[in-house]
Amino acid sequence: MSTTIAQAIAVIEALSPLRLAADWDNCGLQVGDTAQALKGIAVAVDPTHAAIEEALGLGANLLVTHHPLLFKAPRRLDLNTEPGLSVAKAIRHGLTIYAAHTNLDATAVNHALAERLGLQGTRLLHQTGQQKVYKLGVFVPHTHIEAVREALWAVGAGVSDNYSRAGYQWETQEYFQPGARATPHTGAAGADTHMQAIRFECLITDSCVQDALQALHQSHPYDVPAYELIELQRMGVPEGWGLVGELAEPESLEDFARRVKHALGVSHVRYVGDRDRLIRQVAWLGGSGGDYFQEARRAGADVYITGEIRHHAALDGLACGLSFIEVGHIGSEQPVVPYLAAHLSQHLGANVPVFPLLQRDPFHVV
């Protein structure tokens, strides 16, 4: 059975749920038919006419972009000008366009940038909300405890702060009497049954509850697994944009700026601050993050990396002892393209071709 475009979108939304998008944003389906069989995926930052043509030339019928094609609902669509020109071309050639913008900012854009720059010990820069956390407890026979644990961990259960594959278990006793229609793993209909079992508990976040329950039912030998799911108060996981981390070794601001330039493959960067200042703590936010420099300062950052910084924000930050590196809007977000492409390939398999598109900054330096 062939993979559909809707299934590919489900993979994206599992990584970056639409609930994480800002209320002013327009994430999700932009144009197209998600019921189509998936032929190939192109991934890009911007849904430009050139990106659409490149996607079609590669045989893709799904174009996933970071920026939406339709930021605001247009009053009319002139098919001779944008965005009507791109909408018409996509429909004419059966290309679905899907945007993951601020929801991807919250989960992948800044992590991709951190990986590219080798930054460590990351924590959130700007909190926009908090994800609920639950305790999942389940009784499992000794014979299946490892299978159940691994199935839960594989979908993201058992993650707490900087730890993963975490949980607790202990010996316990189970008592039950199977009904006439039951298909018990142990015991017979109408017979009082007791057996030794394992009680296993782990934490799961709101975003992986459904996957965790599905994994539990698929890996558990009982027709009706005995489990409980309890929301934990004051244990929510912060969500938001941007990260703060540190370099393995201090570098001068100028040396670090040069390394950022080469790591991101951009033609130039601009920096603000003393060229010889030693940098250790780094804050970064992909895209137009200049307005968040005060949060970078409060987080103890020596330097703040973002796509675009306003003149007065740079002066105000510098007066507070914060340096800046401006890498350009697309320079700060291009790293998420191969990151997202690799994620799609991993979850959809080798039979679905995924093409990361390289896009350059539209501004030239002379």
Its CATH architecture, for the domain 5-100+334-356, is 3-Layer(aba) Sandwich (3.40)
Q: Look at residue 208 and tell me whether its pLDDT is greater than 90.
A: no
Tokens of 219: 């890996």
Separation between Cα atoms, residue 289 and residue 322, nearest integer Å: 14
CATH topology assigned to domain 128-238: Alpha-Beta Plaits (3.30.70)
Average of per-residue pLDDT values in the chain: 92
Beta partners for residue 245, in sequence order:
282
Q: pLDDT grade, residue 1 (50/70/90)? A: low
Structural contact between residues 202 and 166, judged by C-beta atoms closer than 8 angstroms? yes
CATH 3.30.70.120 location in the chain: 128-238
Mean pLDDT of 272-287: 96
Q: Which residues contact 317 (CB under 8 A, 6 or more apart)?
A: 272, 293, 294, 296, 297, 304, 323, 324
Question: Between 145-154 and 209-219, two packed helices, what is the crossing angle to 10 degrees?
Answer: 150
Above pLDDT 90, what percent of the chain? 73
CATH 3.40.1390.30 location in the chain: 5-100+334-356, 107-126+241-332
Q: Look at residue 237 and tell me whether its pLDDT is greater than 80.
A: no
Q: Which residues contact 346 (CB under 8 A, 6 or more apart)?
A: none
CATH superfamily ID and name for 107-126+241-332: NIF3 (NGG1p interacting factor 3)-like (3.40.1390.30)
Q: pLDDT grade, residue 194 (50/70/90)? A: confident
Element (H, E) at 340: helix 336-348
